[in-house]
Amino acid sequence: MTIEAVLKGMDVVFETAPGVFSPAAIDQGTSLLLSLVEFAPGDKVLDLGCGYGAMGIVAARLLNPAQVHMIDNDPQAIRLAAENAALNGVPGVHILLSDGFRTLRETAFTKILCNPPYHSDFSVAKHFIEKGFNRLAIGGELWMVTKREKWYRNKLASVFGGVRVVAESSYFVFQSIKKQNTYAHRASR
C-alpha cells in the first residue's frame, strides 16, 4: 500500500503493509506531533519506534539525513523505513532494528519523537521515557503522542521535572525537556 501526505508543508510518500502501525493513512497523532515540534539546524533526532518512518523521514528532509536515527523492533517496519527513506530522498538516515534502546548506542539526542504503543501495558512507555531521558543531551526534548493522559503526564513529570501537554481531538502531545542528568524524582511509577 502507498500513502501520500503533506507533513510540515512537504509532500511525502510512504510504502506500508498490513501489520505495521497505521498502514492506510498517516496516524492523526503523528501528524499532530509533527505540527508542534520545531527542528533546529543542529538537531540530532531519534524517531523511537519509527514504524514505516514518517516522523524520522520528515525530520531528515528538514535537516541533514545523517542527523536522524530511526529505530523499531519490527523487521518489516525497518525494511519499510529504509525503502521510504530512499523513496523520499533521504537515504543517509540511520535505521536500526532495536528493541527500544537495547541495541542503539547513540546518545546526545536533542529531540526524541515517539508515538508509543499505548494500548498495551505501560512497560514499553516506561522504557521509552526512562531510557530516552538518559539518551538526551541537556536541553534535549522528548516528544510523545498518545490517547491517554494521566499516566504519561505523571511519569514524564517524575522523570523530567515537568511536562507540557497539548490536547487536540482525542490525542495528547507531551513535551519534556532534560534539564539535568538525574531524574527529577525517583522513577518508580
Transcribe 101-154 into DSSP letters: TSS-----EEEEEE---TTS-SHHHHHHHHHHHHHEEEEEEEEEEES--HHHHH
Question: What CA–CA distances, in Å, run from 163 to 120, 141, 157, 189?
Answer: 22, 10, 6, 16
Q: What is the mean pLDDT of residues 143-149?
A: 96
- Enumerate domains of the chain plus CATH numbers: 2-177 (3.40.50.150)
Name which of 128, 169, 176 is nearest 32 in CA terms: 169
What residues have CB less than 8 Å from 117, skipping those under 6 apart? Answer: 21, 49, 124, 125
Q: Which residue has the cell 508543508?
A: 9
Can you give the pLDDT at residue 149?
A: 95
Element (H, E) at 28: helix 28-36
Q: How confident is the model at residue 189 (pLDDT cuts 50, 70, 90)?
A: very low
Name which of 148, 141, 133, 76 is nearest 111 in CA terms: 141
Q: Is the pLDDT of residue 186 over 80?
A: no
55-110 pLDDT per residue, tens: 999 999 999 999 999 999 999 999 999 999 999 999 999 999 999 999 999 999 99
Residue type, 64: N
